[in-house]
């Protein structure tokens, strides 16, 4: 530090911290960034706990050359604010996105009010504010031609001052209540956030702390809200699911508080039974860098979904109690941002009213537009396309990827994509945005309604869900464009989704004889099966052949939990209910857990497992991991073979996301994840009635 000649000059409120102490402290909190020197010096408040001092040192930086203590300098972690895609992962290495309960003090308190800027695509009054960053030193650098950059230094601090990063908090209040809406012209008593469907768009900047107060105004149900894809590092109790939180009782409020260490497009939704299928969902945008340049961001997030006019709870009851011919869930409409854009015709007692116009996204010729696409539905996997346009894909599920171009996107329930669409200079008029059900992914029946003739009539589900509009004299007219998409297959585009920040997965041998197998997650995986011989778990999905009326259902029993005995309070498993679908993994900072999810015992491929009745393929399963991303080693419609299948897997920077499609009726997916986020985490099918039927397990990382 400038002005420090020997240790006697260091004030009492300064800690000298060595690398080993930092490493030990990092095990208690967030991952330790890479640095090259053994000692750093950091100012701190004497009222701080020692571990806070150590952790604060991780994000501290001494600018300039603090001669004679040159080895006291802590270099900027790779993947800091100025993110270079060729460098380390900004999520893993944290940059300056962490914050602490105590503010670090420099010798001379900063007189500035902090760096404030408006991120592209946010509402007009929304600002990113970093109060401890001097605007004379730091600046926003996220421009049309530099989207990989978030913040950068204008110049070094010549005084060598140390700053804390007390990143600001965004506060929201959302009210959960009932209300009648008409998304496709037919009335439905829906469940709504702040009276709207979808709910209000929540905004944050990379590294922000979010505080969301949820009030439950429902007349007869509890609720809980999940922040989809948010890792919740060391905030497991804020995940908003039944294994970590009791429902918010009617008339009560609950405050969620967590930090967003990722950036991109995601959503929030109720995680209480089937509530989100009746309307409780909304977009969540975390502003940050991007892996490709664009000019403008679309005014709205694009949430595509399926819709049932009856209560989702009523549909679920029919699925679980009716004979197999009627067991399919009924889908009446496809929506974009809560609008169907159709003028349905009804009969006496069931007359729809005219619906709102299609959801419209406006393009400017010659500009590149960023779109945020989310499948917030309950059951349908969509192939999304824009007539006569292509997507440049830059992110999936909060993971930045190397840009690639395609004319179609397969988006399963819960998945998200960030894309750039070129507004071509010679374009005028309007074009259809389409959402076509993917072949082989879906298992639902078309809706019925009373026509003017009074008969029950099926009708084709309209896949034209939205409009891309260029300014012209015909801007109010419906598009006449035609679809050029011909491929509606179900599986992810594995070879194209290459993460910007690479992960290399160890090729651990799979010993078929010691492969730990659990059916419907009804038994635990003992720690000894996860030793040096192989860290593989095998989740074999199956039905119960002894329960005849359940043939063809997603699972054989609902996923019950006793809220008076949550898993979070039984991390050792000593008192855990064996029916809770729990698997245990030891916590560790390095290495991976490997999991194969296998549908070979589901109907359609091995009917002998179900007695004499042959049941058709019930569709694929979009599996969602809480608390972690997973890498997709392999995904196939073929039956899993423990001897030959691993030879086809990709271990070199495979696709990484939090929601992965498991092919139904015979296929499998193989994934790997780091067991470095201790807590209780769900893994479940995101088809809402499948999860409620028991297609879920709990991972306890301890």
Q: How much is the average pLDDT of 66-84?
A: 30
The pLDDT score that the predictor gives to residue 237 is: 94
- CB contact at 8 A, 695 and 555: yes
* Least confident segment among 62-76, 229-243, 399-413, 478-492: 62-76
- CB contact at 8 A, 409 and 300: no
The pLDDT score that the predictor gives to residue 89 is: 36
Whether the pLDDT of residue 371 is over 50: the answer is: yes
More confident residue, 193 or 34: 193
Whether the pLDDT of residue 107 is over 60: the answer is: no
Q: How confident is the model at residue 512 (pLDDT cuts 50, 70, 90)?
A: low
DSSP run (H or E) holding 435: strand 430-437
More confident residue, 164 or 45: 45
The pLDDT score that the predictor gives to residue 251 is: 96
Whether the pLDDT of residue 533 is over 70: the answer is: no
Q: How much is the average pLDDT of 645-652?
A: 92
The pLDDT score that the predictor gives to residue 292 is: 95
Give the tens place of pLDDT for each residue, 566-596: 777 766 555 566 556 777 788 888 889 898 8
Whether the pLDDT of residue 340 is over 70: the answer is: yes
Using CA atoms, how far apart are residues 246 and 156, in angstroms rounded to an integer? 49
Q: How many beta carbons lie within 10 A of that of residue 551, not counting itself? A: 20
- CB contact at 8 A, 509 and 651: no
Q: Go through 373-393 and write b for each residue having 16 or more CB atoms within 10 A of its CB, e for each that does not.
A: bbbbbbbbbbbbbbbbbebbb
Using CA atoms, how far apart are residues 696 and 521, in angstroms rounded to an integer? 8
- In the chain, the domains with their CATH numbers are 168-174+193-284 (2.60.40.420), 290-501 (2.60.40.420), 512-701 (2.60.40.420)
Q: Which of 342-351, 354-363, 491-500 shows the highest mean pLDDT?
A: 491-500
Q: How confident is the model at residue 91 (pLDDT cuts 50, 70, 90)?
A: very low
More confident residue, 141 or 320: 141
The pLDDT score that the predictor gives to residue 483 is: 80
- Of 520, 628, 524, 503, the C-alpha closest to 571 is 524
Q: How much is the average pLDDT of 418-422?
A: 98
Using CA atoms, how far apart are residues 129 and 168, in angstroms rounded to an integer? 6
Give 104-151 as a DSSP string: ---SS---S--EEE--TTS-TT--EEETTS-TTTEEE---TT-TT--E
The pLDDT score that the predictor gives to residue 696 is: 84
Using CA atoms, how far apart are residues 415 and 375, in angstroms rounded to an integer? 6
* Least confident segment among 101-105, 501-505, 643-647, 650-654: 101-105
What mean pLDDT, rounded, does the chain reach?
72
Whether the pLDDT of residue 555 is over 80: the answer is: no
Whether the pLDDT of residue 407 is over 80: the answer is: yes
Q: How much is the average pLDDT of 244-254?
A: 95
Using CA atoms, how far apart are residues 373 and 434, in angstroms rounded to an integer? 12
Q: What percent of the chain has pLDDT over 90?
A: 35
Whether the pLDDT of residue 47 is over 50: the answer is: no
Q: How much is the average pLDDT of 220-236?
A: 96
Using CA atoms, how far apart are residues 494 and 471, in angstroms rounded to an integer? 36
Strand bridging mode 679-685 / 696-701: antiparallel
The pLDDT score that the predictor gives to residue 576 is: 61
Give the tens place of pLDDT for each residue, 603-638: 443 332 222 222 334 578 899 999 999 999 999 888
Q: How much is the average pLDDT of 264-289?
A: 95
Using CA atoms, how far apart are residues 531 and 543, in angstroms rounded to an integer? 30
* Least confident segment among 303-317, 422-436, 522-536, 567-581: 522-536
Angle (deg, nearest 10), helices 50-59 and 19-28: 100
- CB contact at 8 A, 160 and 198: no
């Amino acid at each position: 530090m400038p002005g420090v000649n020997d240790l006697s000059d260091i004030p009492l409120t300064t800690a000298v911290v060595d690398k080993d102490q930092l490493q030990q402290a990092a095990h208690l909190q967030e991952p330790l960034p890479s640095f090259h020197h053994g000692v750093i010096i950091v100012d701190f408040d004497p009222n701080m706990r020692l571990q806070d001092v150590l952790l604060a040192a991780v994000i501290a930086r001494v600018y300039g050359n603090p001669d004679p203590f040159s080895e006291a300098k802590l270099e900027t972690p790779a993947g800091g604010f100025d993110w270079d895609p060729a460098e380390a992962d900004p999520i893993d290495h944290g940059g300056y996105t962490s914050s602490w309960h105590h503010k670090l003090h420099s010798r001379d308190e900063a007189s500035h009010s902090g760096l404030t800027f408006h991120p592209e695509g946010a509402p007009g009054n929304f600002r990113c504010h970093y109060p401890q960053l001097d605007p004379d030193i730091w600046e926003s650098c996220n421009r049309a031609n530099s989207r990989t950059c978030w913040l950068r230094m204008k110049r070094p601090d010549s005084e060598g001052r140390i700053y804390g990063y007390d990143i600001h908090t965004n506060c929201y209040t959302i009210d959960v209540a009932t209300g009648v809406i008409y998304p496709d012209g037919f009335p439905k008593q829906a469940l709504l956030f702040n009276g709207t469907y979808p709910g209000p768009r929540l905004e944050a900047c990379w590294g922000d702390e979010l505080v969301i107060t949820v009030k439950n105004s429902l007349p007869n149900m509890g609720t809980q809200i999940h922040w989809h894809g948010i890792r919740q590092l060391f905030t497991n109790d804020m995940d908003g699911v039944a294994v970590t939180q009791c429902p918010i009782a009617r008339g009560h409020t609950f405050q969620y508080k967590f930090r967003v260490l990722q950036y991109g497009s995601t959503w929030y939704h109720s995680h209480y039974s089937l509530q989100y299928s009746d309307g409780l969902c909304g977009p969540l945008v975390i502003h940050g860098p991007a892996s490709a340049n664009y000019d403008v961001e679309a005014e709205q997030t694009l949430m595509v979904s399926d819709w049932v006019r009856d209560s989702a709870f009523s549909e679920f009851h029919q699925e679980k109690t009716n004979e197999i011919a009627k067991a399919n869930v009924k889908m009446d409409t496809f929506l974009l941002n809560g609008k169907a854009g159709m003028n349905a015709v009804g009969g006496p007692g069931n007359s729809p009213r005219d619906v709102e116009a299609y959801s419209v996204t406006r393009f400017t010729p010659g500009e590149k537009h960023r779109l945020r696409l989310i499948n917030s539905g309950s059951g349908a996997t969509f192939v999304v396309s824009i007539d006569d346009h292509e997507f440049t894909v830059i992110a999936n599920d909060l993971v930045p990827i190397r840009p690639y171009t395609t004319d179609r996107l397969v988006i399963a329930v819960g998945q998200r994509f960030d894309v750039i669409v070129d507004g071509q200079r010679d374009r005028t008029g309007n074009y259809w945005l389409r959402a076509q059900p993917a072949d082989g992914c879906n298992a639902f029946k078309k809706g019925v309604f009373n026509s003017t003739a009074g008969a029950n009539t099926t009708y084709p589900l309209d896949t034209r869900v939205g409009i891309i509009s260029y300014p012209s004299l015909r801007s109010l007219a419906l598009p006449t464009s035609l679809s050029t998409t011909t491929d509606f297959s179900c599986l992810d585009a594995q070879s194209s989704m290459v993460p910007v920040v690479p992960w290399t997965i160890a090729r651990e041998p799979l010993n078929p004889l010691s492969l730990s197998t659990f059916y419907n997650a009804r038994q635990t995986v003992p720690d000894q099966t996860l030793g040096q011989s192989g860290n593989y778990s095998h989740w074999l999905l199956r039905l119960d052949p002894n329960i005849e009326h359940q043939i063809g259902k997603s699972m054989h029993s609902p996923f019950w939990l006793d809220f008076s005995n949550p898993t979070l309070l039984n991390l050792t498993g000593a008192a855990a209910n064996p029916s809770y679908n729990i698997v245990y993994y030891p916590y560790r900072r390095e290495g991976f857990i490997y999991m194969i999810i296998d549908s070979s015992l589901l109907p359609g491929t091995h009917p002998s497992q179900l007695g004499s009745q042959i049941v058709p393929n019930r569709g694929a399963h979009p599996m969602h991991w809480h608390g972690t991303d997973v890498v997709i080693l392999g995904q196939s419609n073929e039956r899993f073979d423990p001897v030959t299948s691993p030879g086809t897997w990709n271990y070199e920077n495979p696709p990484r996301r939090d929601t992965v499609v498991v092919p139904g009726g015979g296929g499998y997916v193989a994934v790997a994840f780091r067991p470095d986020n201790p807590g209780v985490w769900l893994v479940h099918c995101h088809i809402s009635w499948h999860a409620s039927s028991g297609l879920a397990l709990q991972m306890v990382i301890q």
